Amino acid sequence: MDSTPKDLERELAIEQAHVDLVYRHLKKATKSARRVASSGRQIYRSDRQTWMREEDGTALFERDAFAFQAARRLAILDAEHEGLVFGRLDHTDGEIRYIGRIGVRDDEYEPLVIDWRARAAEPFYRATATEPMDVARRRVLRCRNDIVIGIEDDLLDSSQPNDELVIIGEGALMAALKRARGHQMRDIVETIQAEQDQAIRADYPGVTVISGGPGTGKTVVALHRAAYLLYSNRRRFERGGILVIGPSSLFMNYIERVLPSLGEDSVTLRPIGGVAVDTLGLTAARIDSAAAATIKGSLRMVPLLKRLVNLPWLDPADDQPPLRVTVKGEVLSLSETTLARLRRDLLTRHKANAARPAAEAAVMDALYAQLPEELEMDLETMTELVSDSAAYRMFLRAWWPDLTATDVLRRLASARVGARVGEGILNAEEQAELAASFGFEDWSVADVALLDELVAMIGPIVADEADEPLAFLADGAEMSEVVTTADRLRDAHEVDPHADPHDTFAHVLVDEAQDISPMQWRMLRRRGSQASWTIVGDPAQSSWPDLGESEHALTELIGSAPHRSYRLSTNYRSPAEVFRLAADVVRRDYPQADLPQAVRSTGVEPLLLTSSGPALADLLDEVVADLAGQVEGTIGVIAPPSRLSGLATADLAGVAPHSQRVTFVSPLNAKGLEFDAVVVVAPDEIVAESPGGTRVLYVSLTRPTQRLVTIDVGPDAARWRA
C-alpha cells in the first residue's frame, strides 16, 4: 500500500522500539562481559613473592586465557557499530527477522538480531521479486548510533494479501548510491546484491576468483568475504590468520574501517609495498618509472638475482691471487677461478648466510690440498694456524660476508655489476634503466618483491655461537640449574635461524590482482603456501603491460587446487554518461574487455576541457571550486606522476576552502578509490607514463560517482579520445 507521512512516523516508531530493545540487551551483555573480565583478573592470585609452584603457574595461564576470551567478547560488544540493526525481513508466513552486524539474543535465547553472515540471513541478500524466497518485504533501517533515522523498503511478493504491509522509500540500493562519499569506504552490508552475496559466501578451499569491472563492488565484496570466512570457520582462520593485500597505503587507509564495522578486527591488512614487512621491516610507497617497474616485475629478475647472490664481493687485482697465507714457511694461495668454483658448489647446497661454516671448511680443504706432505701436518692443526692469520680473517669477511637483502640489491646501482649479472637477460638499455632506478635513498614498491626474493635466496644472518653472551660466577660460587616457566616459554618460541622467516596465513585475499607483477606473485605465494585464496581483479584495469606473463604467474599459483569464479556484472558507481566515455577509451586498445552495465544516470555528461601548460593551475583551481558547489562529498584530482607534486603543492585559492574534501592522487594510487567528483589531468600523459597505458587511464575515468572533468594539456593533446 502507498505510504503517507503518518505511515512513515508509525513505522519509524515500531523500528525504534525494537532497536531500543536490542541495545538494552546489548548493554546487559556488555556488563556481563566486564564482570567476567574483572573476575578473571581476581581469581588464581598467588601469594608467592619469590619462586612459584607449578600449579600456581598453570592457574595464572588459565586466568590469562579466561580474561583474554572475556576481553575479546567485550571488545566486540563495545565496538562502535554504526547501525547495529540494519535490516528486517517480513516473511509471507508472518515471521519477522531482524538482521544486524552481530547476533543478539534475549533472556530466553531467542534471536533479537541475526548476524548478517548467518545462513538465516541469506534471504535478505538473495531474495528478489522473481525469487522472493518466502519474503514479502525487505526493509533497510538507516540508523545514527542507536536512533532510527530512515527506512527503505522493497516489495518482493505482492501476491500475499496484507493491507498492513506498508512500503516506504525508493529501495535501499538506489538510496545508498546517491549518498555522498567520504574519505573512508563504507561497508555495504545492508545493500549486498544477490551476485555479490554468492561470491561472499563461496566455499573457502582452494582459490576463489572474483572479477568485475569498475564500480561493481569487488573490494567491498572481498572484505565482506573475509568477515564471512572468519564467522563461518573461525577456528581455522583466526588461528591461521587472514592477510588482505591492497594496491597502496592510501587504499588501505580508505578500507581500514570496513572490517571492524562488520565485527572483525583480526585481519592483517598490508599494501603491496608492505607485504614483506615481516622479512624486511619496511614498507615502500615510491613508484618506479614505467620502464623500471616493468623490468623489476618480470620473472627475468629471478635468474638475475641468483647471479647477483653468486657474484663474489671481492674484486681482486688481476696479478694477485685473492687468498694468500703462509703455513710453516709454505705459501698457500687460492685463485679467483678456484674460489668461484667453490662458491658455486656451496650455493647449490646452502643458502648464502647459512653456508659460512661450510665455506670456511671448503677453503681449508683447498688450502690443505696444497700443503706438502713432508710437513706432516693434519687438517685440524693447519686450520688453527690459518684461522689465527689476520690476512685470512680479512679475506673471509670480504669473500663470504653476512649478507642482507638490501646490501645485495644495492649492488645493482653499479652499471658494471648490472652488466655482469644482466648479460643475456637484459639488453643494454634495460641494464641502464635498472641501474638508474636504484639512485634513490628509499626503496620502491617494485623493489620490495626483489628484496623478499633475496631474503628467500640468502636466508637470515646466522648468529655466531661465539657471540652468545656468557654468564660468569664469582670464584668459588656454585649454581644449580634453574628452569622457570619463562625459560620454557622462551625456548618454545625460539626462532630457528634456518627457518623460513616469512609470515604465513590460512587465507590470502588479493585485491586489484590485475596489477600484481609476476615477481610480486612469488612474494605473495611465500605468505600463503598452504593457504586458501580469494583473488579479486579486472584485466581491463591492469597496469601490468604483459598480461600473458601475469596470467602465467597466476596459473602457477592456482595449480591443481580447486577453484571457482564469480563475475560481478553491474557498475553501481559510475553514472552511465561517465562510463560510456571510459568504455569507449578502453575498447580501442583492449577490445576483449569484459565491461559491466552501469545502472543509473545523472543526466550530466563529462566535461572535456583543454589548457595550455602555464594556465593549467588556474584552470584546475576554477574547476575544483565549481565542483565543490555541485557535490557534497569528496573530489579527486588524478594527475600523472610528472605533474602531481607540482599541482598538489600549488597555491590554489579556489581549492583552499575545500581542502578537506580534495585529494590529489596518481593514477596507480587511485586504484580502488572513489570520489563524488573527479578531475583527470593530462590524460595523454597518464597513458604515456603508466606501464598499462590506456588501461590505467580507464581506471582514472571510472573513479567518480557523479561528475567527471578531464583537462587536456597542450595543443596536441586529446589523443586518448581520438
Residue-level pLDDT at 659: 87
pLDDT at 200 over 80: yes
Over residues 4-27, the pLDDT tens digits come to 888 889 999 999 999 999 888 888
- State the pLDDT confidence band at 189, using cuts at 50, 70 and 90: low
345, 454 contact by CB (below 8 A): no
Average pLDDT over residues 265-283: 91
Average pLDDT over residues 685-689: 92
Please report, rounded to a whole number, the percentage of residues in the chain having pLDDT higher than 70: 82
Which residues on neighbouring strands pair with residue 89, listed in sequence order? 97, 138
* Residue 704, H or E segment: strand 704-713
Q: Which amino acid is at 420?
A: R
Identify which of 40-49, 100-109, 518-527 has the greatest average pLDDT: 518-527
pLDDT at 665 over 90: yes
Q: Return the minimum-mean-pLDDT range out of 80-94, 220-234, 618-632.
A: 80-94
**Distance, CA of 272 to CA of 498 (rounded, Å):** 26
- Residue count of the chain: 722
Average pLDDT over residues 64-91: 62
Average pLDDT over residues 464-484: 44
Average pLDDT over residues 433-452: 95
Residue-level pLDDT at 550: 78
| Nearest of 659, 671, 655 to residue 703 by alpha carbon | 671
Please report, rounded to a whole number, the percentage of residues in the chain having pLDDT higher than 90: 40
**Distance, CA of 439 to CA of 413 (rounded, Å):** 7
pLDDT at 485 over 80: no
- State the pLDDT confidence band at 369, using cuts at 50, 70 and 90: very high
**Distance, CA of 233 to CA of 246 (rounded, Å):** 23
pLDDT top residue among 51 and 607: 607
Over residues 579-633, the pLDDT tens digits come to 999 999 999 888 888 899 998 899 999 999 999 888 899 999 999 999 999 999 9
**Non-local CB neighbours of 100 within 8 Å, separated by 6+ positions:** 22, 81, 84, 85, 86, 87, 113, 114, 115, 116
pLDDT top residue among 272 and 55: 272
Average pLDDT over residues 446-456: 96
Residue-level pLDDT at 466: 45
**Distance, CA of 538 to CA of 209 (rounded, Å):** 10
pLDDT at 539 over 90: no
pLDDT at 148 over 80: yes
Residue-level pLDDT at 29: 76
Helix count and strand count (H, E) for the chain = 28, 21
- State the pLDDT confidence band at 477, using cuts at 50, 70 and 90: very low
**Distance, CA of 513 to CA of 518 (rounded, Å):** 11
Average pLDDT over residues 134-139: 90
**Distance, CA of 252 to CA of 46 (rounded, Å):** 45
Q: What does the mean pLDDT of the chain come to?
A: 83
What HEC string does 598-664 produce? ECCCCCCCCEEEEECCCCHHHHHHHHHHHHHHHCCCCEEEECCHHHHHHHHCCCCCCCHHHCCCEEE
Residue-level pLDDT at 627: 95
Average pLDDT over residues 386-401: 87
- State the pLDDT confidence band at 63, using cuts at 50, 70 and 90: very low
Average pLDDT over residues 204-220: 91
Tell me the C-alpha to C-alpha distance, in Å, between residue 537 and each of 229, 513, 527, 558, 675: 19, 5, 19, 15, 20
Instruction: Count CA within 13 A, CB hemisphere, residue 64.
Output: 6
**Non-local CB neighbours of 249 within 8 Å, separated by 6+ positions:** 271, 273, 274, 283, 285
Q: Return the minimum-mean-pLDDT range out of 426-430, 535-539, 666-670, 718-722.
A: 718-722
Residue-level pLDDT at 177: 53
- State the pLDDT confidence band at 62, using cuts at 50, 70 and 90: very low
Residue-level pLDDT at 308: 94
Average pLDDT over residues 437-456: 95
Residue-level pLDDT at 473: 42
Residue-level pLDDT at 184: 54
pLDDT at 720 over 70: yes
